Amino acid sequence: MPDTALLKKKLLHIAATGSVSQFTPEQLHSHYQELNQFLALHKDTLDSIELFNLYELEFYSCILTNHDIEAKAVIDLLLDQFQSNSKSQRIKLLQSIYYEAIGDGKQATQLLTQDPDELSLSRRLVTFSRSDGSDKYIKNLCYYLDLQPSDLSAWAELGNEYKKIGKYQDAIYCLKEILLHEPLAYPVFYKVGLYHYYLFLQELAKPKTRLHDLIQLLTQARDNFLVSVEINDKYDKSWVGLYILANHEFNQDDKFKKKTEKLKSLVQKKVTELHIDISSIIE
């Protein structure tokens, strides 16, 4: 059993970053049990902000692990506590997710459309069009971002949608919007580099592409990977990106070989230092 203070820190970190949405079923299963046990034993030792953040996390854990009765109990508890603030968008969002999960889409839509000024709810409403196909979803995300251009999660979501359909240039534009607000977000720099690389591969496959454009794309991919490792020099994903760039057959041409030699030796040194198993990644 890990130390209580460390466990609390970990759970609050998960709650703040929303990592639970990316957990594998196995991770979700153990996380659900761990959180329930922690709250049962230590909820009295938490301050109110920590407690309600963990209740919110518990709601997501219950919903994603099909524990609907427990999820409803968490919502009821939050409603009891914040009855005076019945307009809370945060609670309405949880309620709508609950209705969506149990298949009551009508009730969920009704909750989300009560007030068009409640933008957090409008954002959730946009996700309902995901089932109508990428184009419709992207259109709705763009409409939402016109109303709320500083919503970084929505830019990230839009970027991801563009990536799925291979529109890397648009995806890069979305990620650059995030970087305007978060100039130290090294994972975003990594993604910008990666999408430039994908774009390079896309262009390379086309029969008529100017060499200058290809070089530009590779340079931008390299620069973004380098900014990422400049902020966090132990970020292995960016080092792998640089390794792949430096060893790409395009760079083995005599014209570019000299220029990439320095990068190649630097990347090789760092890959060895960080014990990154390149062969397994490339396979």
Partner 1 sequence: MLFYAIGILLLTHAGYSAFEHHKLASHTIHSALPLDIIVETIVATVIIVFGSITSIKNSPALTLDNEVVTMDSQYLKPIRATDASQLDQIVGVSEYDRFDNRIEFVDVIAKRREYAEWIKEQE
User: In angstroms, what CA-CA distances link 201 with 23, 125, 207, 223?
Assistant: 30, 35, 12, 17
- Please, which of residues 208-237 interact with partner 1 by CB under 8 A? 230-235
Q: What distance in Å separates the CA atoms of residue 62 and residue 68, rounded to the nearest whole number?
A: 6
Nearest-approach distance from CB 220 to partner 1, in angstroms: 20
* Chosen residue from 22, 84, 85, 280 binding partner 1 by CB under 8 A: 22
State both tokens at 75: 């919502």
| Residue 75 in contact with partner 1, rule: CB under 8 A | no
Residue 17 Cβ vs partner 1, minimum distance, rounded to whole Å: 5
Q: Give the helix/strand (H/E) hosting 127.
A: helix 119-127
Q: 3-class SS at 70?
A: helix
Nearest-approach distance from CB 84 to partner 1, in angstroms: 25
Nearer to partner 1, 12 or 244 (CB): 12
| 157 sits near partner 1 (criterion: CB under 8 A) | yes
How far apart are CB 192 and partner 1 at their closest, in Å? 12
Instruction: List for the chain the helix, strand, coil content (%; round to 5).
Output: 80, 0, 20
Angle subtended by helix axes 168-181 and 152-164, to nearest 10: 160
136 binds partner 1, rule: CB under 8 A:
no
Strands (E), the chain: none
User: Is the Cβ of residue 108 or residue 246 nearer to partner 1 in the bound state?
Assistant: 108
Closest CA to 248 of 208, 207, 196: 196
188 is a site residue for partner 1 (CB under 8 A): yes
Q: Nearest Cα to 214, choosing from 180, 191, 245?
A: 245
Taking CB under 8 A as the rule, does residue 178 contact partner 1? Answer: yes
| Among residues 142, 165, 180, 184, the one that binds partner 1 under rule CB under 8 A | 184
Residues that bind partner 1 (CB under 8 A): 2-3, 5-7, 9-10, 13-14, 16-22, 25-29, 60, 63-66, 93, 97, 100-101, 120, 123-124, 127, 130, 152-154, 156-157, 160, 178, 182, 184-188, 230-235
